[in-house]
Amino acid sequence: MPDTVPGSLRAYLHGLPGVDEVGVRRRAADLATRSVKTTAKARAIDLAIRMVDLTTLEGADTPGKVRAMAAKAVRPDPADPTAPPVAAVCVYPDMAAVAAQALAGTEVAVASVATGFPAGRTPLEVKLADTRAAVAAGATEIDMVIDRGAFLAGDYGKVFEEIAAVKEACGEAHLKVILETGELACYDNVRRASWLALHAGADFIKTSTGKVTPAATPPITLIMLEAVRDYRALTGRQAGVKPAGGIRTTKDAIRYLVLVNEVAGPDWLSPAHFRLGASTLLNDLLMQRAKLATGHYGGPDYYTLD
C-alpha cells in the first residue's frame, strides 16, 4: 500500500466500507454501560494512570509549569508511592528540552506536538524543522497534526506524503498522527484518515488536538480502534490509538478501556498501544484511587491544580 500512487490511494480510501453511524453510536453507548467495580476498578484506574499523556499545551506555559508537571508525572500522588507514573508528558516543542531534563532517568516519556500544532497550516519545510527540533531537544514521541484542509479537499497524496516525511524526520521517535476528527465532518472520513495515517507509517493515531470541539468521543475512538485492529490483521504491524481532549472523569476513562478491550482486544490494553491525552483527568483518577483506598470521597483541595 505505501507505494501506491495518489490516484489509486483515493480509490483505496473511498473503497473502504462505509461506517454505520447509528450502529457505531449504539455500540459505543452499549459498551459505556458496563459496570467496573472494586478490584477491577482499582486495576482499571492504575492502568488508566499509566496510559495518561499528561498534557499542557497553552500559550502561557512556562518552564516552571512544565517542571512541576514533570514532577507530577513521575509521582502523581505524593502521599501514595504506590500510584504508578503516567506514560508521558506532552508539551510544545520549545518546552521539550525542559521536560526532557526534568524527566531524565525516569520511565516517563517526553512527547512533543509538532508540525505547526494545532492548525498545521505551515509549509512542509517548517513542519519538518519543527519535528527535528523537538526530537533534538529530547522528545521521544512526536504528535503531528494532519493537513485537514488538504484531506477535506481530497488531496490525500499530500497528506500521505507529509506523514511519511515527518515519520522519516522523527527517526527513532514514535509518531502519533492527530486526525482532528472534530474537523473531519463525518465518520467515513475518520475511517479514511485512520487508514491513510496507518499506511503512511503512524505509530499511533490520535483523535484531536484538544483545541477543537467536539474532541474525543467514544464512537470516533471505536472507529479508530477498528482501524488499528484491522490494520494489524492486514499487515502484522500493531499501531496504537490515543483519544485526547474532553476526557475528564474516571468513569469516562474506564469506558474507553472497556472500548479498547472489546473492540481492539486485550493486546491494546497497555500504554504502548493506548494512551489518554488529558490534563484534568489525572486528578480525578487519583481522587477515585484514594476513594477506593480510604473509603471516603476526596476533594480537589488535596491535589495540585496542574
Partner 1 sequence: MADTPARIAVRRTYKLYIGGAFPRSESGRSYPVTSSRGTHLANAARASRKDVRDAVVAARKAFPGWSGRTAYNRGQILYRVAEMMEGRRAQFAAEVMAAEGIGRPRADAVVSAAIDRWVYYAGWADKITHVLGGANPVSGPYLNLSEPEPTGVVGVLAPAGSPLLGLVSVLAPVITTGNTAVVLADEHAPLPAITLAEALATSDLPPGVANILTGHLTELAPPLAAHADVNALDLTGAGDLSRALEESAAGTLKRVLRPGPADWTDPDPGTARMRPFLEIKTVWHPTGT
> Rule CB under 8 A: which residues touch partner 1?
295-302
CB hemisphere CA count around 290 (13 angstroms): 19
Three cell numbers, residue 70: 514533570
C-beta of 239 vs 286, nearer to partner 1: 286
Give the chain's radius of gyration (CA, Å): 19
Q: How far is the CB of 73 from partner 1 (least distance, A)?
A: 23
Q: How far is the CB of 300 from partner 1 (least distance, A)?
A: 7
Calpha distance 256→222 (Å, rounded) = 9
DSSP letters spanning 118-183: TT--S-HHHHHHHHHHHHHTT-SEEEEE--HHHHHTT-HHHHHHHHHHHHHHHTTSEEEEE--GGG
C-beta of 219 vs 246, nearer to partner 1: 246
Place of cell 470516533: 220
Q: How far is the CB of 304 from partner 1 (least distance, A)?
A: 15
Q: Which of 203, 206, 252, 284 is catalytic?
A: 206
Q: How far is the CB of 177 from partner 1 (least distance, A)?
A: 36
C-beta of 108 vs 247, nearer to partner 1: 247
206 as an active site residue: the answer is yes
242 as an active site residue: the answer is yes
In the DSSP assignment, the letter for residue 274 is: B
* Cβ neighbour number for residue 85 with a 10 Å cutoff: 19
Coil, helix or strand for 141? strand
Q: Which of 53, 77, 130, 143 is catalytic?
A: 143
Structural contact between residues 143 and 114, judged by C-beta atoms closer than 8 angstroms: yes
Q: How far is the CB of 35 from partner 1 (least distance, A)?
A: 13
Calpha distance 2→164 (Å, rounded) = 9
Structural contact between residues 302 and 78, judged by C-beta atoms closer than 8 angstroms: no
C-beta of 15 vs 299, nearer to partner 1: 299
C-beta of 151 vs 303, nearer to partner 1: 303
Residues tagged active-site: 143, 206, 242
